[in-house]
Amino acid sequence: MTLDYFTRALLEAVLAGALAGLVGVLVVLRGRAFFTMSLTHATFPGAVLAAILGVSIPLGAAATAVALVLVATLIGRIPTQGSAVASGIMLTAGFAVGSFAETATHVPVDVGSFLTGTILATTTADLGLTAAVLVVAIAVLAVYGRHLLFASFDETGFRAAGLKPARAEAVSLALIAATVVAIMPALGAILAVGLIVAPAAAARRLVRSATTMLWVAPLIGIACAVAGLLVSRAWSVSAGGAITLIAAAVVGLAHLVPQRRTVVEAVPAPAAAGSVVAS
């Protein structure tokens, strides 16, 4: 059965919203919002180069994202620099490489679609990629979720439990990078970070448990993505812009809800180093 363009876009909104909300919990709890913004921008040159070479755009975006993450990691290990400086360099370098490639080759490239996305042009391959990354993210969090949350709240305790923070960090970064690449065709290099961060930020405000955030944030992400797409269709405005604005509005509304606690409760430490089942 062949799906029409809007049905594909609607399915992508559901999948992207769920994926962004789920992985966004790790972004928010680990304080990786600026890094994620830098990573979304790092996919831009890969998308441009892939379009110029006529190869898969997600593949090109993934390649440059991995390369720039490695560079940022090396810079971040320099004592006088740090992760914020490394992320800033990755952000600006990504845009610079993409802009240089587009102008140097003189090949016509729709740069705007890479920056703000084209969810209405979603293909079956895009749906497959987003669905695959969502399944992987669910599986990783089901198996390793307690460890990732524990490492986010208490790295010292994580080390004391005989666990390796570097492994948890690598898994988190891999999930974030995969999510950015998967939703880039729909939301672009600029707007993708809004759908990743906002639902998790709203969920953190609304619920008390970190594990509950893993359920609430994807639901908020789906609602924002679908609502933005419907607004886009009704008013003939940018779908990516509508989705991001609605996500930002949800965060604002969440802060109007009175809180009994101001901090999300930490997830209990794993019973043993070998326990890897998330609650």
Two tokens at 196? 């990743």
Tokens representing 73?
């990691």
Give me the residue spans of the domains in the chain. 5-255
What confidence tens digit (pLDDT) does each residue in 232-277 have?
A: 999 999 999 999 999 999 999 999 988 755 456 655 655 544 443 3
Q: Which two tokens stand for residue 184?
A: 């880039």
Question: Would you call 71 helix, strand, or coil by DSSP?
Answer: helix
Amino acid type, 209: S
Give the residues across from 265 on adjacent strands: 209
User: In CATH, which of 3.40.47.10, 3.40.980.10, 1.10.3470.10, 3.40.190.10 is domain 5-255?
Assistant: 1.10.3470.10
DSSP 3: P
Do the Cβ atoms of 42 and 71 come closer than 8 Å?
A: no
Distances (CA, A) of 159 to 1, 27, 236: 51, 20, 52
d(CA 263, CA 157): 19
**pTM (two decimals):** 0.86
pLDDT at 276: 38
Return the bridge partners of 209, or none: 265
d(CA 33, CA 28): 6
Q: Are 48 and 98 in contact (CB under 8 A)?
A: yes
pLDDT tens per residue, range 50-94? 888 888 888 888 888 787 777 666 666 666 665 666 666 666 777
How is residue 45 written in tokens? 């040159």
Q: Write the single-letter amino acid at 221.
A: G
The owner of tokens 């830098």 is 38
> Hunting for tokens 């930020």 — which residue is that?
201
